Structure 1
Amino acid sequence: MTIPVVVGVDGSEASLEAVDWAADEAVRHGVPLHILHAASGNHEPSDVITAASERARKIAPTVRLSSEVSHENAASALIDKGRNALALVLGSRGFGDLDDMLLGSVSLAVAARSDCPVVVIRGEVAHRDGRFGTIVVGVEDEESSGTALEFAFREAHARRCRLAAVHAWSAPSGAFGAAQDPSWPLEAHVRPPAQVLDDALRDLTERHGDALVERRLIEAPARQALLAAASGADLLIVGARPRLVHRGLQLGLINHALLHHAPCPTAVVPHI
């Protein structure tokens, strides 16, 4: 059985934008699309499902479509469904004058706990419609970024677009000029930024010989570097190693910031 793309809907315009993106994603990968609505008192469940299904059929009439209404907590229902999904797609939900900046609690909870990639749909139409021809993936190292890179190469192949691999770094104290000096002396356990990026990409570039990969080394905080790169991207992809804190699982500060402020759809890929 082919696993589907799953999209969560709640009747909002943001969730319908998520349906648009999810329908395109299902077409790109040749998989079914499953629409999930966690019922609440705000909307009639049948109306929410009908509106989302009609929207999906207009965009992807050939995609196999299914839907369901869950009476679970929305985050729990999505996380359960994500255990057998190619990706979970959610709208970015905001409040008041900060609508474009604040992310809903359901999306944050799902991104922190999901077993599959979670894509939060953000940004203007140009970013959501794939007009830039570029995917950006943040690279920490080969171990931490492996699953995110796998997802990024898969997406770039499906879209036939450029993949920009971004590694942000800061020179150690007293190592000014290191970015320009390839002979920069390092401790045995520290590698030059270019080597970190090359090591992370090596196996995947060998397996995907036709991939158009652009390496970007940026001396800046990761949040700053990735937000800047995302300004010209159709999708930003980051890896996630959820952290257990006293209030439960949460995302790291960088991913939290990217999900709130990225100018394009953002995928959080759990580290496996």
Structure 2
Amino acid sequence: MLLPIVVGVDGSESSLGAIDWAADEAALHGLPLRLVHACLWERYEGPAFTEAAGVASERLLARAIIDRATERARQGHPEVQIDADIVPEDAEAALLREARRATAVVTGCRGRGPITGALLGSVSRSLATRAPCTVVVVRGRQKNRQAANGPIVVGVDDPTSSTAAIRFAFHEAQARRSVLDAVRAWRRPAHRAQAHPLLVGNPAHEHEDQAGALLDRALRDAEREHPDVPVRRVITEGPAHHVLLTHSATADLLVLGAPRRHGPLGLPLGSVAHAALHHADCPVAVVPQR
């Protein structure tokens, strides 16, 4: 059974961009697409109030949002199997539930109006932190969102926390026939012990060499599984979030790993993922690593 790509839609321009990206992704991988609009009016009002003017208008708005989303996805990819639903839940609960049986959950980076926009931001953060599947936040410039032949960029932390993200990035690069940039940032220690005068060598080179060896180790298995994917190793000194945000300017997708633990709560997002979700110039995929 093929698990769908799920998209949270709310009628905003941002969510329409998420629909476009998700429909392209579903067509690329031969997956079904599921459009979900979360609406609380039915749950809170109940059947006794369903004929009230306010409720009726909310119902019409919800139907218009999901119908427009469905039409947009079908126009771009009529071959994709599409399922659409209005669910009587808040967006966070609905999408976390959907994530349990999804290949990925896709959201925009803003909602309708300042209040909804703030809520959508919190929903995206919650999904990236807690969802058991990959979460993609579609953000950045239009050319980056349209996959205009830029590279797939994956941030490599260490082999134990980056394995799932690396595999996802290779899978995307192969499907898109893209170059994969594997990026490892390194830093000099803030306080370094005074070197002995008889010892030689450049400490900076040592840290760079260690970063390169770690990158080789992290990529080894995925490169064997995807020999046709061209890989560029990028080893750069500097804060990881600055390095990755710089590379996002020319990327079609930025892929990051996120730790998970068993149970309903995920580990907090690190500063790198937090910065990427707020400031990257391209869509960001957060891949859970257990």
Same fold (TM over 0.5): yes
For 1:139 and 1:266, locate their aligned partners in 2 and report how far apart those are by CA, in whole Å. Answer: 14
% same residue: 48
| Amino acid paired to 2:79 | T
Q: Higher helix proportion, which one?
A: 2
Partner of 2:128: 111
For 1:24 and 1:46, locate their aligned partners in 2 and report how far apart those are by CA, in whole Å. Answer: 23
Task: Report deviation, 1:90.
Answer: 0.2
For 1:90 and 1:122, locate their aligned partners in 2 and report how far apart those are by CA, in whole Å. Answer: 9
Partner of 2:231: 213
For 1:29 and 1:75, locate their aligned partners in 2 and report how far apart those are by CA, in whole Å. Answer: 26
Partner of 2:71: 54
Q: Does 1:25 align with 2:25?
A: yes
Question: Aligned with 2:172: secondary structure?
Answer: helix
User: Bigger radius of gyration, 1 or 2?
Assistant: 2
Provide Cα deviations, 1:10-33, integer angstroms capped at 9, x if missing partner: 111110100000000001101110
Provide Cα deviations, 1:210-231, integer angstroms capped at 9, x if missing partner: 1111100011011101001111
TM-score by length of structure 2 reads: 0.83
CA contact (8 A) 1:120 1:267 kept: yes
Partner of 1:130: 147
Question: Which of 73, 93, 100 is matched with 2:110 structurally?
Answer: 93
Partner of 1:225: 243
For 1:103 and 1:220, locate their aligned partners in 2 and report how far apart those are by CA, in whole Å. Answer: 31
Partner of 1:264: 282
Q: Specify every segment of 5 or more residues in structure 2 that has no aligned partner in the other structure, as ranges.
A: 42-57, 196-200
For 1:83 and 1:101, locate their aligned partners in 2 and report how far apart those are by CA, in whole Å. Answer: 24
1:102–1:211 CA distance, 2 compared to 1 (3 A): farther
Q: How does 1:1-272 map to 2 (within 5 A)?
A: 1-40=1-40, 44-93=61-110, 104-172=121-189, 173-174=191-192, 177-179=202-204, 181=205, 184=206, 192-241=210-259, 250-272=268-290
For 2:120 and 2:226, locate their aligned partners in 1 and report how far apart those are by CA, in whole Å. Answer: 34
For 2:100 and 2:72, locate their aligned partners in 1 and report how far apart those are by CA, in whole Å. Answer: 25
Provide Cα deviations, 1:135-173, integer angstroms capped at 9, x if missing partner: 100001111100111110111111110010000111234
For 1:95 and 1:73, locate their aligned partners in 2 and report how far apart those are by CA, in whole Å. Answer: 15
CA contact (8 A) 1:243 1:252 kept: no
| Amino acid paired to 2:242 | Q
When the two chains are superposed, the root-mean-square deviation of aligned CA atoms in Å is 2.7
Aligned residues: 262
Partner of 2:52: none
1:171–1:102 CA distance, 2 compared to 1 (3 A): farther
Task: Report deviation, 1:177.
Answer: 3.7
1:47–1:29 CA distance, 2 compared to 1 (3 A): same
CA contact (8 A) 1:242 1:251 kept: no
1:115–1:58 CA distance, 2 compared to 1 (3 A): same
Provide Cα deviations, 1:162-210, integer angstroms capped at 9, x if missing partner: 010000111234389434x4xx3x8xxx971100000000011011111
